[in-house]
C-alpha cells in the first residue's frame, strides 16, 4: 500500500480518507463444536465507520483499501489436550453476507466465493460448485494451527504450532479504479467456520481488518468517485 500525504506523487493520497479498524473474535470450547466435522459457524456484522457513528443517511463511502488477517490461536488449558489435533478457521469477508439458508455457505461450498447449488452433483455424487462469483464477497480466508498436547499415559506428546495469519489485502483503486460503494443500510460481514479435530481445549478464532474509506455526501458522490446520481 503506497501512502502519499503530499500531492506531487503518483501514489494514492490517503490523507483525507477515513480509517476503520475492526476485530472479530470468537472463543470456542469443546461443547460448542457440533456435526461432522466438528465445527461452529459464526457471523459478525459491523457498519462502515461504526466507530464514528456509521454513515449518515445522506452519505456513501467508497472502500478504497482493506487488509484482513485471520488466525486461530490462544489455546487455553493446553495441558488438558491429550491427543494430536488441529483447529481451522475458514470463511468469507464481504458486504451483507448471510451464513444460513441458500445464501453463501463456505463450509458446504468449499470455495466461499461461489454459490452451492442444491442438487447439482458430479459423477461421484459430490455437490458441484459453479463459477458464478458473488460480488458481495471481498475475500475468503483460511488458517490452521495445532495446539500442544500431552499424552498422559506415555509422557510428553507434542508441541503446538501456529503459522503466521492468513493475510488478504486489496487496493481497489489500483486494481479497478474504484472500490465498492456502501451506504447506511449496508454492513460489513464476516462469515466463517471454526473447526476442531479431536480438540478438548478452548481456542480462539481472530480476524483483524483495517479499512480505508472515502466518504462523500450523496449529492456529491458522482463527482467524488464517479457514482451515477
pLDDT digits (tens, 9 = 90+) for 41-75: 888 999 999 988 999 988 999 999 999 999 987 77
Q: Decide if 87 contacts 195 (C-beta within 8 A).
A: yes
pLDDT (mean) for 215-220: 80
- Nearest-CA neighbor of 182 among 156, 158, 210, 211? 211
> If you search the block for the grid coordinates 470463511, which residue do you land on?
91
- Nearest-CA neighbor of 106 among 52, 41, 185, 173? 41
Q: pLDDT value at position 41?
A: 85
pLDDT (mean) for 151-163: 66
CA separation, residue 199 to residues 13, 87, 110, 171, 192 (Å): 47, 8, 22, 37, 18
Q: Retrieve residue 183's grid coordinates.
A: 451506504
- The angle formed by the CA atoms of residues 38, 89 and 107, to the nearest 5 degrees, is 60
Q: For residue 147, is pLDDT > 70? A: yes
| pLDDT range class, residue 132, cuts 50, 70, 90 | very low
Q: What is the dihedral of CA 99, 100, 103, 104, to 10 degrees?
A: 30
| pLDDT range class, residue 227, cuts 50, 70, 90 | very low
Q: pLDDT value at position 67?
A: 97
pLDDT (mean) for 137-141: 89
| Tens digits of residue pLDDT in 183-215 | 999 999 998 888 887 777 788 889 999 999 999
Residue 62 burial (CB count, 10 A) = 22
pLDDT (mean) for 136-161: 75
Predicted model pTM: 0.74
| pLDDT range class, residue 182, cuts 50, 70, 90 | very high
pLDDT (mean) for 85-110: 67
Of residues 117 and 148, more confidence is placed in: 148
Amino acid at each position: 500500500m503506497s501512502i502519499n500525504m503530499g500531492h506531487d506523487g503518483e501514489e494514492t493520497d490517503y490523507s483525507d480518507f477515513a480509517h476503520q479498524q475492526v476485530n472479530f473474535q470468537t472463543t470456542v470450547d469443546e461443547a460448542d463444536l457440533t456435526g461432522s466435522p466438528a465445527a461452529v459457524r459464526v457471523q459478525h456484522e459491523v457498519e462502515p465507520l461504526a466507530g464514528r457513528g456509521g454513515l449518515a443517511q445522506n452519505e456513501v463511502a467508497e472502500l478504497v483499501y482493506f487488509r484482513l488477517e485471520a488466525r486461530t490461536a490462544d489455546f487455553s488449558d493446553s495441558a488438558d489436550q491429550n491427543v494430536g489435533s488441529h483447529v481451522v478457521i475458514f470463511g468469507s469477508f464481504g458486504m451483507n453476507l448471510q451464513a444460513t439458508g441458500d445464501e453463501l455457505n463456505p463450509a458446504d461450498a468449499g470455495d466461499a466465493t461461489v454459490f452451492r447449488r442444491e442438487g447439482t452433483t458430479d459423477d461421484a455424487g459430490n455437490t458441484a460448485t459453479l463459477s458464478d462469483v458473488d460480488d458481495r464477497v471481498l475475500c475468503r480466508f483460511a488458517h490452521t494451527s495445532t495446539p500442544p498436547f500431552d499424552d498422559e499415559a506415555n509422557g510428553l506428546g507434542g508441541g503446538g504450532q501456529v503459522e503466521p495469519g492468513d493475510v488478504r489485502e486489496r487496493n481497489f483503486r489500483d486494481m479497478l479504479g474504484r472500490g465498492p460503494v456502501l451506504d447506511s443500510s449496508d454492513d460489513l460481514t464476516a462469515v466463517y467456520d471454526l473447526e476442531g479435530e479431536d480438540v478438548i481445549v478452548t481456542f480462539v478464532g481472530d480476524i483483524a481488518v483495517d479499512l480505508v474509506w472515502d466518504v462523500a455526501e450523496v449529492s456529491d458522490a458522482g463527482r467524488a468517485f464517479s457514482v451515477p446520481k
